[in-house]
Amino acid sequence: MKKFDIPDFYKSPIIAKIKELRKNEDPRKQDYSPTALDFGPIKFLIARHFGFCYGVENAIEVVYRIIDENPGKRIFLLSEVIHNQVVNLDLQSRGVKFIMDIYGNQLINWEEINSADIVIIPAFGTTIEVEKILLEKGIDTKRFNTTCPFVEKVWNKATELGIKEYTVIIHGKARHEETRATFSHSMQNAPSLIVKGIEETKFLADYILGKEGEHEFSNFFSGKYSPGFNPQKDLQRIGVVNQTTMLAGETQEIADLLKEAMSKKYGGENLKDHFAETRDTLCYATNDNQGATLELLKHKADFAIVIGGYNSSNTNHLVEILQEKYQTYFLSSAQKIISEELISHFDIQERKEKITENYLPLKEKIVIAVTSGASCPDSVVDEVLNKLLSFFNIRKFEEVLE
């Protein structure tokens, strides 16, 4: 695996040592059990896999190198390079400006951008339409492109399906940057449709089986299918790909449900002519992080903490997993731990921050399950652990463990 040169202030030497130790002990990633850090009155169960992934480290390395190598030049990002507030605020403090927000709303008019500017494509990739605008302006779309290779892998799979005359069903969030990019690329070669989750997929299956009409289909999936989409014709042959950060189990459930619907409609003996067996297109980091988080559920803990950007899809899914068993606090930084009595955290159902009192239980030993999203720097995890340790008059965990 390539080693990336990311700024030191995003690193944590101790967490790096822990990750390296686990990697050396288990190079084939067969042991997903958490790492236990026991400090007496407080014990952390840290997920086997968490934090920066390949695509994120690549994007961060490229962006900071561009900043260093181009003093005085105007540098723009199409939108957030990754979904992490700490990283994006730091880039803005260095003069980098965002052309769009995460939903594609324009923050800077295209008229203000010219060929002398540097425009960086974020890790999520971008749409064909935006690429065309950049090219028309004389902007190099290859040199400053940080699109994650695992996102491009999904695009390639969609192209392959289109060549074989399958319609592409994209499991993703329609407003998410990556899904918008995948949808744009996919519909160049195939009719394409986005489903967010299992409920939308059930509706799609009902339409395929004749339980819903075309008018209902058009209303239900408004804005989520490619131009000229003909459900009667285009849903006769389908294949499933996904936004790389979705829940792996949900993607499989969606594929299984659609496969069952096609089998019922066309007969099991004809299934291969109507349903493409696609391998899961989640990235390795999403699989590893979700697998390690599921492993946390096998252990006893008083509560869980998930650290990362509130608009990070992969991090939200880690919260969903841990909420099945634990009271789970979703934090963007250590500053959200206000005191021993108060913690500010993000509620993924209500989509807002709230404050909880008395989150630390009154007991001799507190056990906390900890993980972070693929766009969260290890240094932020470091700060969260040290903030909690400080309430127990324990030195920084770097000093204790060295």
Instruction: Specify the residue for token string 């209500």.
Output: 350
166 contacts 238 by C-beta, under 8 angstroms: yes
The helix/strand/coil state of 390 is: helix
pLDDT at 283: 81
Which pTM was predicted? 0.91
Q: Identify the band that residue 1 occupies on the pLDDT scale cut at 50, 70 and 90.
A: low
- Residue 81 pLDDT more than 70? yes
pLDDT at 324: 95
Q: Which helix (H) or strand (E) holds 4?
A: none
Q: How far is CA 345 from CA 20, 45, 83, 374, in A?
A: 30, 20, 17, 19
Q: Each residue of 35-80: pLDDT tens digit?
A: 999 999 999 999 999 999 999 999 999 999 999 999 999 999 999 9
Q: Each residue of 16-38: pLDDT tens digit?
A: 889 999 999 999 999 999 999 99
pLDDT at 398: 65
User: What mean pLDDT value characterizes the chain?
Assistant: 94
Q: Each residue of 328-358: pLDDT tens digit?
A: 999 999 999 999 999 999 999 999 999 999 9
**Residues 153-157, mean pLDDT to the nearest whole number:** 96
DSSP string, 208-277: HTTSS-HHHHHHHTTTSB-TT--HHHHTSSEEEEE-TTS-HHHHHHHHHHHHHHHHHHH-GGGGGGTEE-
Q: Each residue of 195-213: pLDDT tens digit?
A: 999 999 999 999 999 999 9
Task: Return the active site residues.
Answer: 178
Closest among 196, 202, 200 to 170, alpha carbons compared: 196
pLDDT at 399: 64
Tokens linked to 40: 């007496």
Which segments of 2-53 does DSSP mark as H helices, in order? 13-25
> Left, alpha or beta for 171 (phi > 0: left; psi -120 to 50: alpha)?
beta
Q: Which amino acid is at 344?
A: S
- Residue 402 pLDDT more than 60? no
- Residue 360 pLDDT more than 70? yes
pLDDT at 288: 92
pLDDT at 189: 95
Q: Each residue of 231-270: pLDDT tens digit?
A: 999 999 999 999 999 988 899 999 999 999 999 999 999 9
Closest among 347, 284, 289 to 314, alpha carbons compared: 289
- Residue 280 pLDDT more than 80? no
pLDDT at 42: 96
pLDDT at 248: 86
Q: Each residue of 92-142: pLDDT tens digit?
A: 999 999 999 999 999 999 999 999 999 999 999 999 999 999 999 999 999
All structural domains of the chain? 8-53+284-401 (3.40.1010.20), 54-136 (3.40.50.11270), 149-276 (3.40.1010.20)
Cα–Cα distance measured from residue 268 to residue 260, given in angstroms and rounded to the nearest whole number: 9
Q: Which residues pair with 46 in a beta bridge?
A: 35, 370
Q: Identify the band that residue 191 occupies on the pLDDT scale cut at 50, 70 and 90.
A: very high
Closest among 95, 244, 106 to 182, alpha carbons compared: 244
Q: How far apart are the first and last CA of the chain?
A: 27
pLDDT at 401: 58
2 contacts 267 by C-beta, under 8 angstroms: no
